[in-house]
Amino acid sequence: MLYVLTLASAAVYGAADFLGGLASRRANAIAIVVISQLAGLAALALMLPILPAATAVRADFMWGAAAGVMGGIGVGLLYHGLANGVMAIVAPVTALCAVAVPVLTAVALGERPGSGKTGGIVLAILAIALVSQQSSGDDTRDPSASGSDAAAARSSSIIIALASGVAIGLFFLALARTSPAAGMWPLVAARAASFVLFSAIAVVLHTPMRMPSGVAALGITGGILDMLANVLYLLATRHGLLSIVVTLSSLYPASTVLLARVVLGERLSGRQTAGVVCAFAAVVLIVGTK
C-alpha cells in the first residue's frame, strides 16, 4: 500500500505540474496559482463530509499552515526562476533540494533504510536531476548577454533554485509532522494558507485574473490533481519511512516529462531518457529490497 500511494502521488503531482505549466504559458502564472489553489481547497472541502471522522489538534493546523506557506513560497520561487532564470539550472537544483532536505532530516532523526533502499534513494535522486534537465534551447537568458551577465544569471538562478527547493522540502517535512488522527484537516489548513498568500500577492501586484475559459479549466484541473497528490502523499507518510515516501513522491518530474512527450510530442533529451530509466530502476530497488 505504501508504494502504491507514493508512486500514485508522484504520477498525480507530475500531471498537476504539467497542466499548471500549460496554463501558465497562456495566462499570468500568479493568477493560475490562485485559481488552482482555490480549486484544490474547494475539492477537499467537498470530500471532507464523506471521509472518516478525524480529530485535529492545534499543532496539526499549525503544521498544516506552515506546510502551505512553505509550499506556496516554493512554487512562487520556482515559477519566478523558470520564467526569468536559467531553466537548466533551476529545475534540477530545485528538485534535488526538495528531496534532499526531508531525506537528510529523516536520516538525522534516526531513520535507517536498508542498503538496497538506500541505493534506490541515491539512484532516485540521480533520476530527478537527469529528468529535470531542460534543453539548451529553453535557456531564457538573452543570447546576446555578455559573459559576466551570463555568470550573474547562473548565480541568481542557483540562489532562487536552492531557496525554492528548501521551501518545498520543508513543505514535505511539515506535512509529515501532522498526526494520523488529524485526517485531512492539515491539508485544509495548508491550502487555505497558500491561497491567502497568493491572493495577497496578486492584490499587491495588481495581477489580472481574467483568462480564457479553457485556460481556467486547465488551472482548476491542475489544482484538483495537486490536492489529490497531497492527499496521497499525506496518507503515505502515515504508513512508512519519510525518507522512502519523499523520495518516491519526488519522482514527479518523470511524470511531467512523459506527459509532455505523449501529449505535446516533446522529445526527451538523452539525459531525460536516462533519468526515466534510473527512476524505474530506483523504484525496483526501493520496492524490491529490504
What stretch of H or E contains 196? helix 185-204
Residue 217 buriedness (CB in 10 A; 0-12 / 13-18 / 19+):
middle
Residue 247 buriedness (CB in 10 A; 0-12 / 13-18 / 19+):
buried
pLDDT given at position 290? 63
Q: What letters, b where the CB count within 10 A reaches 16 and e where it falls short, cover 181-207? A: ebbbbbbbbbbbbbbebbbeebeeeeb
Show me where the domains of the chain are located.
2-288
pLDDT given at position 120? 83
Supply the Cα-derived Rg of the chain in whole angstroms. Answer: 18
The amino acid that residue 274 corresponds to is A
Per-residue HEC secondary structure of 85-136 comes to CCHHHHHHHHHHHHHHHHHHHHHHCCCCCCHHHHHHHHHHHHHHHHHCCCCH
Closest CA to 64 of 150, 212, 182: 182
pLDDT given at position 5? 92
- Decide if 191 contacts 37 (C-beta within 8 A): yes
For CA atoms 162, 62, 5, 231, the dihedral sign is: negative
Displacement of CA 239 from its chain's centroid (Å): 20
pLDDT given at position 142? 47
Reported pTM = 0.82
**Strand ranges in the chain using DSSP code E only, listed in sequence order:** none
In tens digits, what is the pLDDT along the chain, a chain of 290 residues?
Answer: 888 999 899 899 888 888 887 887 788 888 988 999 999 999 999 988 888 888 889 999 999 999 999 988 887 787 677 656 555 566 677 777 888 888 888 888 888 888 888 888 888 888 877 877 665 445 544 444 555 665 666 677 778 888 888 998 999 999 989 999 999 999 999 999 999 999 999 999 999 998 999 999 999 999 999 999 999 999 999 888 888 888 888 888 778 778 878 887 877 788 878 888 888 888 877 776 66
How far is it, in rounded angstroms, from Cα 8 to Cα 190?
Answer: 21
How far is it, in rounded angstroms, from Cα 202 to Cα 211?
Answer: 14
How far is it, in rounded angstroms, from Cα 190 to Cα 55?
Answer: 16
pLDDT given at position 232? 93
